[in-house]
Structure 1
Amino acid sequence: MAPRANWKGFLRLSLVTCPVALYPATSDTEKVSFNQINRKTGHRIKYAKVDADTGEEVEASDIMKGYKVDTDTYIEVSKDELDDLALESTRTIEIDEFVPRSDIDSRYVIRPYYLVPDGKVGHDAFAVIRETIRSMDKVAIGRVVLTNREHIIALEPLDKGLMGTLLRYPYEVRSETEYFDDIQDVKVTKDMLDLAKHIVEKKSASFEPDKFEDRYETALIDLINQKRNGLPAAAKAASKSSGNVINLMDALKRSLASEKPSPAPAKAKKPKKRIEGQREMLLPITGGGKRGAKEVSKEISKEVAKQAPKQEPKKADKPVRASVARSKKAG
């Protein structure tokens, strides 16, 4: 099921306008999450909004926003007053300027979105704006209003659509000088630099996100499945310590000797399409005996491979992943 658009409106370049929709390009919903529960009863913990002084619970209709001036003083701001501040440009992304991609400092980047035509009309205008940006090899800078706040958004072509990246305002980015002033000026010798470069060359490769695994997420899945099936948790392997190496040159030499050259870069692969049902990683495991996390993980993979793409889990044995997602909605 496609995600719901975060924003719908119009994209405008001078007099060229088209209806568009803005979708989040990233998601954390697939990650394992936990609820807080009472150790004694096993019930979920419920949080109530209470008056800090009286301790009495406060109804939602009696809660308003306040700006803290000092310890006991707040400036009250009503919802109507905030609504009056709402910007008129809530439904239009107006492209103000075009800048080189290299000009955008990575510290200003917040999160990516996908921008697509909304509906059957406007595809021609959308294509004109997209290909204009592509041909100029620049990034379009505009503004978009999300959750009542105006954000800077950078637009650049991505395949048939546009990727919009929200950017921070200057006051949101801290200056590096207050952190870097105490770093000592050290002269790096040519021998040390050459050794370090050799290490970099051996470890050089093309960036392929598919080969990176969220090892903590995998460990969580293994842990939950083992506990669910009454299996003992696998003991954590002792970390290997290389000991203290006082001499920096020795450390570089040892690093160079221990590094294996990276494999030749393969052709860039398109991201694999998600197969419906594969996200249900937390599946029941049968059998007993003492097994490590790797063996359990292999069994999970086999179970996933056996399932048909659209097979629904049995009611009697619901996947933990699905139940976690429903708990989120309920909460």
Structure 2
Amino acid sequence: MAPRANWKGYLRLSLVSCPIALYPATTDREKIRLNLLDKATGHRIRMQKVDADTGEPVEAGDIVKGYKTADGYVEITSEDLESIEIESSRTLDITRFVPHEEIDDLYNVRPYYVVPDGEAGRQAFAVIREAIRARGMVALGRVVISSREHVIALEPRGKGLMGTLLRYPYEVRDEAEFFDDIPDEPIPKEMIELATHIIDTMKGEFRPDEFEDRYETALRELIARKENGEAARPTRQKTPSKVVNLMDALRRSVEAQDGAGPGHPRKPVGRGAATAKKARGGTSQRRRRAG
């Protein structure tokens, strides 16, 4: 079954417009979801909405939305929300173009595929798409999804556009709240060179098709075993050993990576590699002297 569009309306660049549809670019539908059951009967549990003060069940038709204020709650009806409908409810109006690198990753929320909706306006859609591609920029606009207005960044992707919803500044926490208390640590140059050598031996291509959701796989195997009446097989998690000497840990990591085989190709990295080789040689000499 084809996914349902989250939004339909018009894409507009100045006086040029075309009908479009937005579809979620990602999905978690394939993930396993566990249901809540009554342990005694094995039946599913149905959640019930109740009055927080009286504890009495409330029928769906009697449930309304509201906002908490100092004096209680202000009820907000569907008619109230419709009265503040804004232009971006039906039109995605491009208002600015910015370089891609200026958009901080912290502002990215979720991606959508943007496609022309029907035959009418396909040429206008293609013109807008190729104009954005020619300039190598990202188009910014506004769109209303799930009754809330969002800033959206549009960029060409194949024959369509990818739209990424962006957070507002008030939704992004200031990094200073978390990073300012991190003390400045003195870092010996040799440690940096050893660490960069480890990184260089682990370089590779970005291949998302090789990603495996190991928890999902293990969960499916667990369900299959339980379905066959088998007991669960607890696995002991390996706890990382406590690092006593950072320099020694780096040197051992270099040795491990260099001998990791074809999956971790060895690549010379100039001074870093020379330092790593010197470190390994020094370790070997100390071992010979100790023997």
Is the pair's TM-score, using the shorter chain for normalization, greater than 0.5?
Answer: yes
Where 1:116 maps in the other structure, the secondary structure is strand
Counterpart-to-counterpart distance in 1, 2:59 and 2:87: 32
Does structure 2 retain, via aligned residues, the 8 Å contact 1:18–1:122?
yes
> Residue type of the partner of 1:42?
G
Q: Residue in 2 aligned with 1:46?
A: 46
Q: Deviations over 1:294-331 (max 9, x none)?
A: xxxxxxxxxxxxxxxxxxxxxxxxxxxxxxxxxxxxxx
In structure 2, runs of 5+ residues without a counterpart are 266-291
1:203 has 2:202 as partner: yes
SS across alignment from 1:186: coil
Task: Provide Cα deviations, 1:55-113, integer angstroms capped at 9, x if missing partner.
Answer: 1111222222222225x722222222222112133111111011011000000000000
- 1:2-151 matched pairs, under 5 angstroms: 2-70=2-70, 73-151=72-150
Name the structure 2 match of 1:323: none
Letter in 2 for 1:38: D
Residues in 2 aligned to 1:235 and 1:80: alpha-carbon distance in whole angstroms = 54
Query: What pairs with 1:248-327 in structure 2 (closer than 5 Å)?
Result: 248-259=246-257, 260=260, 262=263
Task: Say which is worse superposed, 111-120 or 179-188, in terms of deviation.
Answer: 179-188
Superposed CA deviations along residues 261-287 of structure 1, whole A, max 9, x for unmatched, are: 7557xxxxxxxxxxxxxxxxxxxxxxx
- Is the Cα–Cα contact under 8 Å of residues 205 and 262 in structure 1 kept in the other structure? no
Aligned to 1:229: 228
Decide whether aligned partners of structure 1 residues 52 and 123 sit closer, same or farther in structure 2, where only a CA change above 3 A counts: same
Alignment deviations for residues 190-214 of structure 1 (CA, whole Å, 9 cap, x no partner): 1011001001101111111001100
Matches of 2:159 and 2:78 in 1, distance apart?
40
What is the DSSP-based 3-state SS (H/G/I as helix, E as strand, rest coil) of the residue aligned with 1:185? Answer: coil
**Quick one: distance in 1 between partners of 2:240 and 2:48?**
50
Q: In structure 2, what residue type is equivalent to 1:150?
A: E
Change (3 A) 1:252 1:148: same
Equivalent residue number for residue 312 of structure 1: none
Q: Distance in 2 between matches of 1:156 and 1:148?
A: 24
What is the alpha-carbon root mean square deviation over aligned residues?
Answer: 1.6
C-alpha distance in 2 between matches for 1:202 and 1:159: 33
SS of residue paired to 1:157: strand
Native 8 Å contact 1:87 1:148 kept in 2: no
In the alignment, what sits opposite 1:325? none
Aligned-partner residue type, residue 116 of structure 2: P
Task: Say which one has the larger Rg.
Answer: 2
Preserved CA contact (<8 Å) 1:21 1:118? yes
Counterparts of 1:239 and 1:93 in 2: how far apart (Å)?
Answer: 49
Post-superposition offset of 1:228: 1.1
Whether 2:237 is the aligned partner of 1:214: answer no
Question: In structure 2, what is the Cα distance between the partners aligned to 1:32 and 1:177?
Answer: 38
In structure 1, runs of 5+ residues without a counterpart are 265-331
Displacement of 1:23 in angstroms is 0.3
Q: What code does the residue aligned with 1:20 have? A: I
Aligned partners of 2:66, 2:4: CA distance in 1, in Å? 32
In structure 2, the residue matched to 1:188 is 187
Q: In 2, Cα distance between the equivalents of 1:255 and 1:248?
A: 10
Cα distance in 2 for residues equivalent to 1:240 and 1:217: 19
Instruction: Find the aligned partners of 1:135 and 1:262 in 2 and give their Cα distance.
Output: 39
TM-score by length of 1: 0.76
Give the direction of change, closer, same or farther, for the CA distance of 1:241–1:254 in structure 2 (3 Å limit). Answer: farther
Structure 2 residue aligned with 1:271:
none
In the superposition, the TM-score normalised over structure 2's length comes to 0.86
- Deviation at residue 124 of structure 1 after TM alignment: 0.9
Residue identity matched to 1:257: E
> 1-side partners of 2:196 and 2:23: how far apart?
41
In the alignment, is the contact (CA less than 8 A) between 2:202 and 2:264 conserved in 1?
A: no
Letter in 1 for 2:47: Y
Give the distance between the partners of 1:262 and 1:108, measured in 2 at CA: 35
